[in-house]
Amino acid sequence: MLRVGRGKAFNKVLRVPGDKSISHRAVMLGAIADGTTRIENFLPGDDCHHTIECFQRLGVKIEREGATTLTVHGKGWKGLREPDQCLDVGNSGTTIRLLLGILAGSPFFSTVYGDASIARRPMARVVEPLRRMGARIDGRAGGRFAPLAVRGGELKGIEYHSPVASAQVKSCLLLAGLRAEGWTKVKEPHPSRDHTERMLKAFGAELSLGEGAVSVRGGQSLAGCHVRVPGDISSAAFLFAAALLVPGSRVTVRDVGINPTRTGILDVFRSMGAEVTVTPTDQWCGEPVGDVTVAGGPLRGVEVGGDLIPRLIDEIPVLAVVATQAEGRTVIRDAAELKVKESNRIATVAEELRKMGAQVDETSDGLIIEGPTSLQGALLDSHGDHRIGMAMAVAGLASEGEVRVKGAEAISVSFPNFAEILKELE
Ligand SMILES: O=C(O)C1=C[C@@H](OP(=O)(O)O)[C@@H](O)[C@H](O)C1
Ligand SMILES: C=C(OP(=O)(O)O)C(=O)O
Query: Domains of the chain: which residue ranges?
Result: 2-12+230-425, 20-228
% of the chain residues with pLDDT over 70: 100
- Check if 2-12+230-425 and 20-228 are the same fold: yes
pLDDT over threshold 90, residue 15: yes
**How large is the average pLDDT for residues 304-331?**
98
Specify the fold of 2-12+230-425. UDP-n-acetylglucosamine1-carboxyvinyl-transferase; Chain (3.65.10)
Q: 382 — phi, psi (to 5°)? A: -75, -15
CA distance 96 to 121: 10
The band of 273, judged by pLDDT with boundaries at 50, 70 and 90, is: very high
Contacts 24+ apart (CB under 8 A), 105-108: 105/77, 105/135, 105/152, 105/153, 105/155, 105/175, 105/176, 105/178, 105/179, 105/180, 106/58, 106/77, 106/80, 106/152, 106/179, 107/152, 107/153, 107/154, 108/80, 108/81, 108/82, 108/151, 108/152
Asked whether this complex has an ipTM greater than 0.90, the answer is yes
**How large is the average pLDDT for residues 12-21?**
98
pLDDT over threshold 90, residue 211: no
Q: What is the DSSP letter of 80?
A: -
**How large is the average pLDDT for residues 367-388?**
98
Interaxial angle between packed helices 345-355 and 386-395, expressed in degrees from 0 to 180 and rounded to the nearest 10: 30
**How large is the average pLDDT for residues 393-405?**
97
Question: 85-114 burial, b if ≥16 CB within 10 A, otherwise e?
Answer: eebbbbbbbbbbbbbbbbbbbbeeebbbbb
CA distance 422 to 215: 42
Going by C-alpha positions, the residue among 318, 391, 329 that lies closest to residue 360 is 329
**pTM more than 0.95:** yes
Residues known to be catalytic = 314
Residue 21 Cβ < 6 Å to ligand 1: yes
Residue 23 Cβ < 6 Å to ligand 1: no
The CATH architecture one would assign to domain 20-228 is: Alpha-beta prism (3.65)
**How far, in Å, from the CA of 211 to the mean position of ligand 2?**
27
What value does the mean pLDDT of the chain take?
A: 97
Going by C-alpha positions, the residue among 116, 118, 133, 224 that lies closest to residue 175 is 133
Contact 166, 191 (CB under 8 A): no
Q: 264 — phi, psi (to 5°)? A: -55, -35
> What is the per-residue pLDDT for 325?
98
Return the number of other C-beta atoms located less than 10 Å from residue 11's C-beta.
11
The band of 210, judged by pLDDT with boundaries at 50, 70 and 90, is: confident
Instruction: Quick: pLDDT tens for 110-145.
Output: 999 999 999 999 999 999 999 999 999 999 999 999
* SS3 assignment for 121-189: CCCHHHHHHHHHCCCEEEEHHHHCEEEEEEECCCEECCEEECCCCCHHHHHHHHHHHCCEECEEEEECC
> What is the per-residue pLDDT for 104?
98
Q: Are strands 87-88 and 109-113 parallel, antiparallel or unpaired?
A: parallel
Q: Are strands 328-332 and 366-371 parallel, antiparallel or unpaired?
A: antiparallel
**How large is the average pLDDT for residues 34-57?**
98
User: Which ligand is closest in space to the CA of residue 91?
Assistant: 2
Q: Best of 340, 341, 390 to mutate for ligand 2, by most ligand atoms within 8 A of CB?
A: 341
The band of 74, judged by pLDDT with boundaries at 50, 70 and 90, is: very high
- Alpha-carbon 44 to chain mean position: 14
User: Which ligand is closest in space to the CA of residue 309?
Assistant: 1
Peptide bond into 372 cis (omega under 30): yes
Is 354 a known ligand-binding residue? Answer: no
The band of 424, judged by pLDDT with boundaries at 50, 70 and 90, is: confident
Residue of the CA atom closest to atom 4 of ligand 2: 93
Q: Which atom of ligand 2 is nearest to the CA of 21?
A: 6
> What is the per-residue pLDDT for 361?
98
The band of 188, judged by pLDDT with boundaries at 50, 70 and 90, is: very high
> What is the per-residue pLDDT for 425?
85
CA distance 99 to 254: 31
Is 333 a known ligand-binding residue? Answer: no
Q: Which atom of ligand 2 is nearest to the CA of 20?
A: 9
CA distance 157 to 116: 33
Contact 196, 166 (CB under 8 A): no
